[in-house]
Amino acid sequence: MKKIFILLFLISIPKSFAQTYSFVLAYSAQGTLCNYGAHGAYMKADNVSIYDGVTYGTYPANFNNRAFTLKKNYTSFEFMLNDGCNANCNDKQTLTLMNLIKNRNVTLWGCSATQRFAVDNFVPNVFIKNLDTASPNEICAGFQLGLAAFPTELLPNNAPDFPAEVYHWVYSLDNKQTWVDVPTFINGNRTNDISTTTFSIQQLLGNNHTNYFNKVIYFKLAYGDINPLAITYSPCAPIAENVTYAAPKCNGENIEKIDVFFDRNFYSGEDISIMYVVNTDPTKTTPHFQNTEIISSLTLDSDYNKYKYTFINPGTLEHGETYNVKYQTRRYGANTGSLQSASTPFKYLDPPKLSFEITNQQKPSCNGGNDGFIEITINSGNGPFHFYKDGNEISAEVNNGKYYLRNLEGKDYNIQVTDAKNCIDKTANDPI
């Protein structure tokens, strides 16, 4: 499934769309009403009359749901409810354009609730679209989601006609029960309060993105009556569920293998074009062990009942660092999902290094004697340890955590120590 959108798509949006705002007015008067003074309500925008329902001596007729459309970006709005029976009961509110967009509704009341004036559902008229017209209801892991709001014409000074906050993107992971702001910036790129925004779902959700595979994520603008876009987040690839490794026998040697376990086998025509191991530290992102050939088949592991790919004798990693496996899948040559291992990144631990030193030695007490000894201290490594004198294994006496080779004659010896896996101290050079 190829996921490409072209920003030139904007050219095809009809220029007849212009920035407008819609809202509904409602007015009512009830109860015992006086017949003198000014009654009713008005609405002004930058001191321009939008609605004037003020009458003198009589009340204006009640009405509900009278629709209005504004075709200009006003700065400030004034709402006034006049109560001619009692000047102290006049109600007035002044809101900026963004106040009104965010509040959406304004209600004014006269004394004893005899009059009511309401501005309801004040919204900018925009519509939103997934720029991927080939698969507008799906996004593959690792691909960029492109969302756009229209209209987006600019004023002569290149300022947007709508305030930037009109293009405030939000998303829902719980079937529209709650809405979360898209971050203002992702990886240094502006991603909110702009008409066209792009990001991957992994960038949006972080490491938790795998929890939403094959689930619907909703996107919309926060301040408009916009039907949310329902987009299914799909892996579009086998999911790497676990990564294991066989550590080298000895410290500093090549890893024996790395197994990557997937939730399923390849579909027909599916393969992995690139797979590699990468450090989770963003300052150490050089890929390790990248495949040299297309991975066209996976192997069923009978112990785990999972399909796997194996890096054989791939090389070395850094002790104590954590790593992910990243890969790009294809189907019939077209890129599909771009993923990394869904499990917690694996931490690489090199086998303990065997290190020893000769910390004491005693020559024989007399010429030709054999009561000399060598004291050996093991600094690191996994026991049990084996000791060799001139290539022949000998027993060592243990005392207070140190090892003693006894019954030695007065001569030079080549001493070697190995650990439980027959590893040696590669830095030792101790002829005695």
Same domain? 68 vs 132: no
Same domain? 140 vs 221: yes
Same domain? 28 vs 116: yes
Same domain? 172 vs 136: yes
3-class SS of residue 170: strand
CA dist 150 and 22 (Å) reads 15
3-class SS of residue 65: strand
Residue 258 lies inside a defined structural domain of this protein: yes
Q: Residue 164 sits in which domain range?
A: 127-234
Same domain? 256 vs 339: yes
Q: How confident is the model at residue 181 (pLDDT cuts 50, 70, 90)?
A: very high
3-class SS of residue 314: strand
The answer to whether residues 339 and 233 touch, using CB atoms and an 8 Å cutoff, is no
For residue 315, pLDDT over 80 is answered with yes
Q: Which pLDDT tens digit goes with each residue over 70-122?
A: 988 899 999 999 887 777 788 999 999 999 999 999 999 987 668 899 999 99
The answer to whether residues 236 and 135 touch, using CB atoms and an 8 Å cutoff, is no
Instruction: Single out the residue in 77, 97, 123 at which a domain terminates.
Output: 123
Residue 4 lies inside a defined structural domain of this protein: no
Q: How confident is the model at residue 8 (pLDDT cuts 50, 70, 90)?
A: very low
CATH of the domain at 248: 2.60.40
The predicted model gives 175-194 an average pLDDT of 96
Same domain? 298 vs 318: yes
Same domain? 192 vs 253: no
Rounded to a whole number of angstroms, the CA Rg of the chain reads 38
Q: How many separate domains does the chain show?
A: 4
Residue 431 lies inside a defined structural domain of this protein: no
Instruction: Single out the residue in 326, 347, 368 at which a domain terminates.
Output: 347
Residue 3 lies inside a defined structural domain of this protein: no
| Residue spans of beta strands (DSSP E) within 144-269 | 144-150, 169-172, 180-181, 185-186, 189-190, 196-200, 215-221, 229-234, 240-246, 255-262
| Residue spans of beta strands (DSSP E) within 263-321 | 270-279, 299-301, 306-315
Same domain? 137 vs 201: yes
Q: How confident is the model at residue 319 (pLDDT cuts 50, 70, 90)?
A: very high
Residue 151 lies inside a defined structural domain of this protein: yes
The predicted model gives 391-396 an average pLDDT of 90
ω into residue 151 within 30 of 0, thus cis? yes
Residue 165 lies inside a defined structural domain of this protein: yes
Order of strands, sheet of 306-315, starting from the edge strand that comes earlier in the sequence: 240-246, 255-262, 306-315, 299-301
Residues above pLDDT 70, as percent of the chain: 91
Same domain? 100 vs 26: yes
Pick 342 or 205 by higher pLDDT.
Answer: 205
For residue 16, pLDDT over 60 is answered with no
Residue 192 lies inside a defined structural domain of this protein: yes
Same domain? 175 vs 246: no
Listed in sequence order, the residues at least 6 apart from 140 whose beta carbon sits closer than 8 Å to its beta carbon are 1, 3, 234, 235, 236, 237, 336, 337, 338
Listed in sequence order, the residues at least 6 apart from 64 whose beta carbon sits closer than 8 Å to its beta carbon are 26, 28
Listed in sequence order, the residues at least 6 apart from 271 whose beta carbon sits closer than 8 Å to its beta carbon are 294, 295, 296, 329, 330, 331
Same domain? 245 vs 327: yes
Nearest of 53, 54, 50, 52 to residue 76 by alpha carbon? 50
For residue 65, give both structure tokens: 């749901």
Residue 9 lies inside a defined structural domain of this protein: no
Q: How far is CA 383 from CA 253, 265, 327, in A?
A: 19, 42, 39
Instruction: Single out the residue in 58, 92, 123 at which a domain terminates.
Output: 123
Same domain? 168 vs 144: yes
